[in-house]
Amino acid sequence: MKLTTAIVDDDKIFHFLMEILLKEATISNSPICLHEGAQFLQWWQDRQSTSEATLVFLDLNMPLIDGWNVLDRLHEQGAKNTFVVIITSSIDPKDRKRAESYPMVIDFLVKPILLDNLTAIRQSPFLKEYF
């Protein structure tokens, strides 16, 4: 089964860095880069007719529709074959605990993201059939 990777963050520099790291970690050569929650939700909804899985690197702190709102909507819609890695600058343990309450969240990473972080995600039991 194919795995499509998306980066959802309002920081263009972060997109650039993540693209490099994702290639280096052999997770994705061409991730989809989305800059706001609403944009991601529309893209995600449009692809629900496919059987492809989605790996999402989701920032929590974005204007308008933030990462928490995105998680709520994914949860409401059943988010089959969608795996979310939270990417945040928050070190608040409450954020980690809250994120872990969503069944589609497979990891919680605090910026800055390192190649080792992504290599570990590639080894995740949730994703083993894709790598």
**Could you tell me the residue ranges of all domains in the chain?**
9-123
Distance CA 76, CA 57 (A): 19
Residues 60-104 pLDDT 10s: 999 889 999 999 999 999 888 999 999 999 999 999 999 999 999
- CA angle (20 as vertex; 9, 117 as ends), nearest 5: 75
CATH number of 9-123: 3.40.50.2300
Whole-angstrom CA distances from 50 to 23, 43, 110 are 24, 12, 31
Answering whether pTM is above 0.85, one says yes
Q: Which segments within the chain are labelled E, that is strand? A: 3-8, 32-34, 53-59, 82-88, 105-110
